[in-house]
Structure 1
Amino acid sequence: MSFTFMKKLPTPEEIKKDYPLSDHLKKIKASRDAEIADILKSQSDKFLVIIGPCSADNEDAVCDYTLRLVDIQEKTKEKLMIIPRVYTNKPRTTGAGYKGIASQPDPEKQPDMLAGLIAMRKMHLRIFQETGLSAADEMLYPENWGYVEDLLSYVAIGARSVEDQHHRLTVSGFDVASGMKNPTSGDFSVMLNSVYASQHAHQFVYRGYEVNTTGNPLAHVVLRGAVDAFGNNKPNYHYEDIRRLIEMYHEMELVNPACVIDANHSNSNKQYAQQVRIVKEILHNRTESTEIHNMVKGLMIESYIEPGSQKIGEHIYGKSITDPCLGWKETEELLYYIADHT
């Protein structure tokens, strides 16, 4: 047999019991969830900004970063809805490398799934307790949803997961905003089919149970750029791309048409400083077209305390150990710019 069963992991209920969410924070999350839903349903003119490090690898640094967002959120609350990007799972194209705190709490040590599940919940809980900002995470492993479902206000399904049936069906049972990224090929049809599947009811097997879901009307698209057959990055945030997306949305029976644009990844060719220019172009296009304004509901931005990235083991506080990110100075300026131009 090719599997070695090492140990049985605790259930979500067991870990939640050890790290509970207070009634006060439950009310705050419900309010934030409702506000995000209103934006995606075009019942609010506020603009979503999902922002934070590529990978949330260090609890203290990520909490420090998120605390810095609190003052900006307060000053821009009439214009922006800021959702901290706290990504505890890191997809790897080849399967090699750091896979995120949920699998590897210490990037310099071997994976430890039990410690990882606890570290994932502790980080999200601490950030929420200290900032009042419920966060976003990428749901790389659908079975992990139960460990943080009461803490998250936004879920992203990545480019390598969006074609997977299990991810699509699991999202159909989520009750929060869920962004379905375009696949690495850039195929809009695949992305929209994923939204369609996620918005409808299903019956399937989940965590050892036969389950029914009701569908998630807050599932929407995320444009993150593409990679062609020769390995070249191809952006898809331009005016023409959004116009094509609008046309394709109209051809399908989807509710709450909405798009969030990822300013990094293949849209920036992973040139993190280009995110500033890309964001400004997106905001300009929203002012030029009512239809684009109504379709583009938010942005994803990769940002941390220190700009760029470092190798694992260098120990520069607040600097990404995965993809390079904007530094705090540029981040602060960009957030106020977004608030002034939405």
Structure 2
Amino acid sequence: MPTKINNLNVESQEVLITPSDLHKEMPLTLAARHTVETGRETIRNILDRKDHRIFVVIGPCSIHDVDAALDYAKRLKRLSEQVSDTVYLVMRVYFEKPRTTVGWKGLINDPYMDDSFKIQDGLHIGRKLLLDLAEMGIPTSTEALDPISPQYLQDLISWSAIGARTTESQTHREMASGLSCAVGFKNGTDGGLDVAVNALKSVSSPHSFLGINGEGQVSIIKTKGNGYGHVVLRGGNGKPNYDSVSIAQCEATLDKAKLAPNIMVDCSHANSNKDASLQPLVAANVVNQILEGNQSIVGLMIESHINFGNQNIPSDLSQLKYGVSVTDACIDWQTTEKMILDMHDKLKDILPNRN
């Protein structure tokens, strides 16, 4: 009997719903479409300096509780209306979490947080939440981690991130070149800018690569290139890179590479020394740089939830604390509100006169 040589380490394979069938089951409504189109256009206009505002990608490190996410969104909507003349708020709706070794990989991979990996359910739950948020008028952002999932969800996303672990990946650069929204590339985990700069050059160019189409068929995807890539500074190797010297060095690097001087600062990760409570200090420093004449900072990223900190996932999920992150620690809503209102008050008379 012939020895088996294929799929030796594969336990099973399950056919998923196709992207087009999921879209048919959960179609984009007119209200949702308007939110997505407006969100994408607003961010493009900010990057093109046609809109004087800054945009802030803010919300939970990851989504694990849909009810808490909707609660957060309602608060964010009210806050957004208060600051909309100066700060454009985009909600973080991160469904996929990169892992260095093992751990919970996010709502799409494991929606029930019990290692059952009901990915089909995760896609439905994730798309339903994005639809609900878009119908509320809330633009959303996510990390484009899995190269397949954008076919299922990207029609509801206004801004995407490529994380520090994947900025160097050719697969993710190619994928991002075909995304319909602006994309922020984080600097490498070592804090270096080279991988992000190379990614920005790559993403703006056309690519051809293997992917899937709406019918779930393996296809050759040919892209036009995405002209709205930009860098996200998140620090690295335990060192921050949001200070004015680091910003100036980034500006010089972008200029040398003949790239647009668009810089976004991630207030979390190494920029806050992985201490969520320091995020407001990072944001305040960035705001002061703008007050002092900085022209290149166009956005910030903040990890925020209803309640402060983070928690481990308990074996008894009924013991989960409401509105507390299960991945990176977040600031609470009270701190979030104060931070954004302070940002608005300091910048409202400055940004309209920014060159």
Range of TM-score over shorter length: over 0.9
Distance 1:127 1:32 in 2: 12
- The aligned counterpart of 2:291 is 287
Query: CA contact under 8 A between 1:108 and 1:312: conserved in structure 2?
Result: no
Report the equivalent of 1:266: 270
- Counterparts of 1:62 and 1:78, CA distance in 2: 25
In structure 2, C-alpha distance between the alignment counterparts of 1:146 and 1:210, rounded to whole Å: 14
Q: Secondary structure at the match of 1:148?
A: helix
Please state whether the residue corresponding to 1:105 is helix, strand or coil. Answer: coil
Aligned counterparts of 2:241 and 2:134: Cα–Cα separation in 1: 33
2:31–2:137 CA contact under 8 A, matched in 1: no
Structure 2 equivalent of residue 238 of structure 1: 243
- Aligned-pair distance for 1:218? 0.8
- Per the TM alignment, residue 294 of structure 1 is displaced from its structure 2 partner at its CA by 2.1
> After superposition, what is the alpha-carbon deviation per residue over 1:14-35, rounded to whole angstroms, capped at 9, x for unaligned?
1111111112321232122111
In the other structure, the counterpart of 1:230 is none
Structure 1 204/253 Cα, relative in aligned 2: closer, same or farther at 3 Å? farther
Question: 1:178 Cα shift?
Answer: 0.5
Cα distance between partner residues in 2 of 1:323 and 1:190: 24
Name the residue aligned to 2:113. Answer: 107
- Corresponding residue to 1:38 among 45, 70, 89: 45
TM-score normalised by the chain length of structure 1 = 0.94
Where 2:209 maps in the other structure, the secondary structure is strand
Give 1:109 shift.
4.2
Q: Give the whole-Å Cα distance in 1 for the aligned partners of 2:27 and 2:287.
A: 39
Larger Rg: 2
Aligned runs of 1:65-104 on 2, under 5 Å?
65-94=72-101, 96-104=102-110
Q: Distance in 2 between matches of 1:18 and 1:93?
A: 35
Shift in Å, 1:311: 1.7
Instruction: Judge conservation of contact 1:312–1:321 (CA < 8 Å) in 2.
Output: yes
- The size of the alignment, in residue pairs, is 331
Equivalent residue in structure 1 for 2:18, among 7, 11, 16? 11
| TM-score, L = length of structure 2 | 0.91
- Give the whole-Å Cα distance in 1 for the aligned partners of 2:208 and 2:97: 28
- Counterpart-to-counterpart distance in 2, 1:157 and 1:13: 24
**What does residue 215 of structure 1 align with?**
225
Which segment drifts farther, 309-318 or 267-276?
309-318
Whole-angstrom CA distance in 2 between matches of 1:294 and 1:148: 33
Tell me, in whole angstroms, the C-alpha distance in 1 between the residues paired with 2:310 and 2:24: 36
Q: What CA distance in whole angstroms lies between the structure 2 residues aligned with 1:53 and 1:25?
A: 21
- Provide the rounded CA distance (Å) in 1 between the counterparts of 2:118 and 2:310: 24
Aligned residue for 2:127?
A: 121
| 2: CA distance, partners of 1:108 / 1:304 | 23
- Quote the Cα distance in structure 2 between the aligned partners of 1:273 and 1:242: 22
**Structure 1 stretches of 4+ moved >6 Å:** none
User: 3-state DSSP class of the match of 1:300?
Assistant: strand
Matched residue, 2:202: 197
Shift of 1:282: 0.9
State how far apart, in whole Å, the 2-side matches of 1:27 and 1:320 are: 30
1-side partners of 2:157 and 2:246: how far apart?
30
How much does 1:3 deviate?
Answer: 2.6
1:212-244 deviations in Å (ceiling 9; x for gaps): 1111111100011101xxxxx111111111101
- Could you say which residue in structure 2 is the equivalent of 1:225? 235
For residues 37 and 90 of structure 1, the distance between their equivalents in structure 2, rounded to whole angstroms, comes to 26
**Which ranges in structure 1 are unaligned for 5 or more consecutive residues?**
228-232
- Aligned-residue offset at 1:315: 1.4
Given the alignment, which residue of 231, 255, 261 partners 1:257?
Answer: 261
Amino acid at match of 2:108: A
CA distance in 2, matches of 1:32, 1:17: 23
Whole-Å Cα distance in 2 between the matches of residues 110 and 43 of structure 1?
47
Letter in 2 for 1:86: V
Q: Find the partner of 1:317 among 317, 322, 344.
A: 322
Shift of 1:43: 1.3
Q: How far off is 1:341 after superposition? A: 2.1
Counterpart CA distance in 1 for 2:246 and 2:100 is 25
Whether 2:303 is the aligned partner of 1:302: answer yes
Does the CA-based 8 Å contact 2:31-2:134 persist in structure 1? no
- Describe the SS at the equivalent of 2:253: helix
Identity among equivalent pairs (%): 34
Secondary structure of the structure 2 residue equivalent to 1:91: coil
8 Å contact from structure 2 (residues 304, 336) kept in 1: yes
